[in-house]
Amino acid sequence: MPRPMNSAIIDLPVRKLAVDLASGFGRHWHGGDAYRSMYFNALSMSFPVGEQFFIDSVRAGAAALPPHERHAPLQAMVAQFIGQEATHRHLHGLYNRHLERQNLRNRWQGWAQRRVNWCNSFGLSPLNVVAVTAAYEHLTAVFADTLLRHGLMEGAEEKMQTLWTWHAAEETEHKAVAFELYRAMGGGALRRIAWYLYVFCIFSLESNVQTLLNLKRDGSLLRVRTWRAALGFWFGRNGQLRRSARALMAYLRPSFHPDDDDNRAVAARWLADNSSRWTRVK
Q: Which pLDDT belongs to residue 7?
A: 42
Q: Which pLDDT belongs to residue 9?
A: 65
Q: Which pLDDT belongs to residue 3?
A: 52
Q: Which pLDDT belongs to residue 159?
A: 97
Q: Which pLDDT belongs to residue 43?
A: 98
Q: Which pLDDT belongs to residue 169?
A: 97
Phi-psi category of residue 80: left, alpha or beta, with phi > 0 → left and psi -120 to 50 → alpha: alpha
d(CA 119, CA 107): 19
Is 167 within 8 Å of 215 (Cβ atoms)?
Answer: no
Q: Which pLDDT belongs to residue 47?
A: 98
The tens-digit pLDDT sequence of the chain (282 residues) is 445 555 456 899 999 999 999 899 999 999 999 999 999 999 999 999 999 999 999 999 999 998 888 889 999 999 999 999 999 999 999 999 999 999 999 999 999 999 999 988 888 999 999 999 999 999 999 999 999 999 999 999 999 999 999 999 999 999 999 999 999 999 999 999 999 999 999 999 999 999 999 999 999 999 999 999 999 999 998 899 999 999 999 999 999 999 998 899 999 999 999 999 999 997
Q: Which pLDDT belongs to residue 189?
A: 98
Q: Which pLDDT belongs to residue 280?
A: 95
Neighbours of 4 (CB within 10 A): 8
Q: Where are the alpha helices (DSSP H) in the chain?
A: 34-64, 72-101, 108-121, 126-150, 158-173, 177-184, 189-218, 224-235, 240-250, 264-273
